[in-house]
Amino acid sequence: MAAIGRHLMEAISPLGSFEVPAAPVETGLVEFARRMAAVAVQPEPLSVFRTLALEGGRFPNLAKLFIERNRERAIGLILRVLQAYEQRGDLVLADAQMMAEHFFILMVGIPQRMAMLGVKEEAPDAERRLHAAVALFLSGCGVRKEGPPSAP
């Protein structure tokens, strides 16, 4: 189990070097999400997910133990980015941990499942999906900037 965790952490380590750009929050989150999706469809994370999905029913403690040991490390990389945007005033994270988990699922859930089935999404479709996922996330926790009052 420890070896699988180390292998997974090596695979996701490039996410730790992501620096929040001075660009608008949507631009930065799209770039971070691209990196997340690229990692999620690599052979190593896919093989870990396949193994846990396949053996989780027979060995429920295996999946539980893996999640307990690795969840904070993986979600922590996302949390760091989201909290940087929150400190900038670009996001409101009522429950930062939960929002990081939702961000993960929104950004990599479908691409990873497709990759598990051996399907590679065309680049324009993947990009459209990614932008839609970031927009959905931002509509749920983004700070609404007050615009000029509307004319009567």
Question: Which residues span the domain enclosing 93?
Answer: 2-16+24-141
The answer to the question of residue 94 being in a domain is yes
The answer to the question of residue 137 being in a domain is yes
pLDDT in the model for residue 36: 92
pLDDT in the model for residue 9: 67
pLDDT in the model for residue 151: 43
* pLDDT tens-digit map of 95-107: 999 999 999 999 9
The answer to the question of residue 90 being in a domain is yes
pLDDT exceeds cutoff 60 at 138: yes
| pLDDT bracket for residue 87 (50, 70, 90) | very high
pLDDT in the model for residue 148: 42
Q: Residue 78 in contact with residue 99, Cβ under 8 Å?
A: no
* pLDDT tens-digit map of 45-84: 888 888 888 888 888 888 788 778 777 888 999 999 999 9
Contacts of 1 (CB under 8 A, 6+ apart): 62, 65, 66, 69
The domain that contains 95 carries what CATH number? 1.10.357.10
The answer to the question of residue 151 being in a domain is no
The answer to the question of residue 51 being in a domain is yes
In whole angstroms, what is the distance from residue 100 CA to residue 43 CA? 23
pLDDT in the model for residue 24: 94
The answer to the question of residue 152 being in a domain is no
Written as one letter, the residue type at 73 is R
The answer to the question of residue 147 being in a domain is no
- Name the 3-class secondary structure at 39: helix
In whole angstroms, what is the distance from residue 20 CA to residue 70 CA? 23
- Name the 3-class secondary structure at 92: coil
The answer to the question of residue 149 being in a domain is no
pLDDT exceeds cutoff 60 at 126: yes
- For the CA atoms of 79, 45, 113, 59, the dihedral, rounded to the nearest 10 degrees, stands at -100
Number of domains in the chain: 1
In terms of Cβ atoms closer than 10 Å to its own Cβ (0-12, 13-18, 19+), residue 83 is middle
pLDDT exceeds cutoff 70 at 123: yes
Max CA-CA distance within the chain?
A: 65
pLDDT in the model for residue 5: 62
In whole angstroms, what is the distance from residue 74 CA to residue 100 CA? 10
